[in-house]
Amino acid sequence: MLDLPFLPFCVLLGGLGFVCVAFVTAWCQHWRGGFALDGSAQMFNWHPVLMVTGMVVLYGAVALVYRLPATWSGPKLPWKVLHGALALLAFILAVLGLAAVFRFHNDHGIPNMYSLHSWLGLATVLLFSCQWLAGFCAFLLPWAPAWLRALYKPVHVFFGSTILMLSVASCVSGINEKLFFSLKNGTMEYKYLPPEAVFANMLGLLILLFGVLVLGALARPSWKRPDADSPDSCQVPAPR
């Protein structure tokens, strides 16, 4: 990764996240008929928008909270609350996205949970729910012992990155699946790359780039919050 300071990197990443949300919204609005709450195909369109917003863009922000230099000193509790609250918001958006697609399938007699995309997506959301609950119990409950926090922390970090990778894979496979189903029977087939296919393919690449940049930031040692022996002790930036 280029030797870019963290805060300018955050601005770049935030802009990319905004573009991802704008692209998926434009795709659903312009080519897929817009949005509704009546169980129609327009209700289905909430699914990709909420999933990209919650499980990719917002989740990426959640993962990088502790990379902010402001978190490197002072008490950890406010940042723990922010981290947990943003993660909970991402989870709520994901649940609403699942509700939209299940409602659409049920109203139109379409089977649920038969594709690899659906298996991967539901497994990601279930894993995310377990991750949030375990993190809440280990890091936010005041009676959780320090040894338990220290033991669970690397597991929490590992599954945080894993969930992000699974989210990106779910979104990309979902985009591809939607194009396969939609661009046929009276429309220009996907293999001939009509404008919708080009646009949606670009959306998939943008989502993938966003995920790679977040994982790169998480792996960069100089951007990690310095840890002392106690998980709740006040931290100061390491000398450079």
Q: What is the pLDDT of residue 226?
A: 80
Q: What is the pLDDT of residue 70?
A: 87
The upper half-sphere exposure of residue 192, i.e. CA atoms within 13 Å in the direction of its Cβ, equals: 6
Domains of the chain by start residue, with CATH: 7-222 (1.20.120.1770)
Q: What is the pLDDT of residue 240?
A: 37
Q: What is the pLDDT of residue 72?
A: 86
What residue spans of 41-115 are helical by DSSP H?
A: 41-44, 46-51, 59-63, 77-107
Q: What is the pLDDT of residue 228?
A: 52
Q: What is the pLDDT of residue 237?
A: 41
Divide the 240 residues of the chain into consecutive groups of 10 and give the mean pLDDT of each group: 80 97 98 94 97 98 93 88 97 98 96 96 98 95 90 96 98 96 85 95 98 96 72 39
- C-alpha distances in angstroms, 115 versus 21, 24, 25, 225? 24, 21, 23, 40
User: 74: which strand partners?
Assistant: 235
- Residue 179 tokens read as 């194009």
